[in-house]
Chains A and B, each alone.
Chain A
Amino acid sequence: GQQLNQSPQSMFIQEGEDVSMNCTSSSIFNTWLWYKQDPGEGPVLLIALYKAGELTSNGRLTAQFGITRKDSFLNISASIPSDVGIYFCAGTGTASKLTFGTGTRLQVTL
């Protein structure tokens, strides 16, 4: 199946810092999505991207659909303690299923 490489695997940052993570695919994707998972809960959708080059914001979060359609990035500005969690990229290619990256674990120190 399709592979999504997500980096970094984990991040330790201080409150107030900006965060950047990215995801690359071995093949072209038609949709890119970013999810966040809090401990003990299911993933929650943060941002959905549907066009190559699209840049979308959701509060302090900004994500972009790469122009090659094989990558996407997520930025979080001015991180706060509640940003802690695991962030997953996900995408759909030609098949009707969603492929997830392996996740980026974010930890925020005060």
Chain B
Amino acid sequence: EAQVTQNPRYLITVTGKKLTVTCSQNMNHEYMSWYRQDPGLGLRQIYYSMNVEVTDKGDVPEGYKVSRKEKRNFPLILESPSPNQTSLYFCASSFRRLGPGEQYFGPGTRLTVT
């Protein structure tokens, strides 16, 4: 089954404790992206990747890191999480080599930073 998977689905952590949220897709998509969703703000893009070893900042990249060492995986890293990073996070991927195109979204990761 074609899908985007994220782990963990739920995470509660404390300020400053490094964490990684994994994202994997099995559709051979070149383009992958991370979003955060907050009430009243819709989805805002954090980082995106056009292909392996190619990443770029989205609209809200501060406090986040990403890597794209393999085509199927695009982990999101929070080196020192803070409470303002409490949010619902989505990973997405698409076929469009030159742009985001029609994205497939993962099920989401709800992160709480205390």
Residues of A within 8 A of B (CB): 1, 4, 6, 31, 33, 40-45, 48, 88, 90, 92, 96-103
Contacts and interface: CB of A to CB of B under 8 A. Distances in A.
Interface string B11-22: 000000000000
Given A42-B105, A97-B58, A101-B42, 4 more contacts: A41-B107, A96-B31, A97-B48, A97-B56
B59 A92 contact: no
Contact of A45 (B43, B50, B102): B102
B72 to A, nearest CB: 17
B99 interface: yes
Contacts of A44: 105
Contact of A43 (B41, B48, B50, B90): B90
Given A88-B43, A97-B58, A102-B40, A42 B102 contact: no
Contacts of A1: 59
A80 B73 CA distance: 38
Contacts of B42: 4, 6, 88, 100-103
Interface of B: 4, 31, 33, 35, 40-45, 48, 50, 56, 58-59, 90, 92, 98-108
A27 B98 CA distance: 20
Contacts, number: 60
A109 B101 CA distance: 34
Of the candidates A42, A43, A96, A101, the one having the most CB atoms from chain B within 10 angstroms of its own CB is A42
Contact of A42 (B44, B56, B58, B106): B106
Contacts of B107: 40-42
A88 B41 CA distance: 11
Pairs A-B, 10 closest by C-beta atoms: A42-B105, A98-B100, A102-B42, A100-B43, A100-B42, A1-B59, A96-B99, A43-B105, A48-B102, A42-B90
A44 to B, nearest CB: 7
A41 B33 CA distance: 17
Contacts of A103: 42
A96 B98 contact: yes
B44 A100 contact: yes
B102 A97 contact: no
